[in-house]
């Protein structure tokens, strides 16, 4: 097993936070790749033991749903965020479905509320 370098993990966390800010504020709505990078960095942080995987997934889902429901942001960006929310939601379904079905129900209700706030996405 490779030792965890604290400076590398700190830099990773800063990049994750940077992407989070760009996503949540809609600073780069033409850069949808930031969403995938944000999710990937979160997974790397969890893999390195930097933070609780459950908390990271909840935070990423909350960020994406908050962005998706922010009427001040471009609709296309909001739709991208809602679409990307499936990744942390799928992870949470796997974990919470077994250990905390009531928490999963609350998470799924939040996702459904976000979906209802946006115009229908074309398939």
Structural domain tally of the chain? 1
> Exposed/middle/buried for 9, CB within 10 Å: 0-12, 13-18, 19+?
middle
Nearest CA-CA partner of 96 in 53, 51, 67: 53
Q: Which residue range is the domain that position 91 belongs to?
A: 6-117
Round the CA-based radius of gyration of the chain to a whole number and report it: 15
The pLDDT tens digits for 67-93 are 999 999 999 999 999 999 999 999 999
Q: Is residue 74 part of a domain?
A: yes
123 in any annotated domain: no
pLDDT classification of 4: cutoffs 50, 70, 90: low
113 assigned to some structural domain: yes
| Stretch 55-69: mean pLDDT | 97
Regarding pTM above 0.85, the answer is: yes
* Mean of all residue pLDDT scores within the chain: 91
pLDDT the model gives residue 1 = 42
User: Does residue 28 fall inside a structural domain?
Assistant: yes
Domain membership of residue 112 (yes or no) is yes
Q: 88 is written with which tokens?
A: 């942390």
Does 100 reside within a domain?
yes
């Amino acid at each position: 097993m490779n030792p965890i370098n604290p400076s590398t993990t700190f830099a990773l966390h800063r990049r994750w936070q940077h992407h989070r800010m760009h996503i949540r504020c809609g600073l780069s709505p033409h850069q949808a790749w930031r969403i995938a990078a944000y999710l990937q960095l979160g997974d790397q942080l969890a893999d390195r033991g930097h933070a609780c995987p459950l908390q990271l997934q909840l935070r990423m889902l909350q960020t994406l749903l908050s962005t998706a429901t922010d009427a001040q942001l471009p609709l296309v960006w909001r739709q991208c965020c809602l679409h990307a929310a499936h990744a942390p939601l799928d992870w949470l379904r796997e974990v919470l479905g077994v250990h905390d079905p009531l928490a999963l129900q609350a998470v799924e209700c939040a996702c459904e509320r976000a979906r209802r706030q946006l115009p229908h996405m074309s398939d």
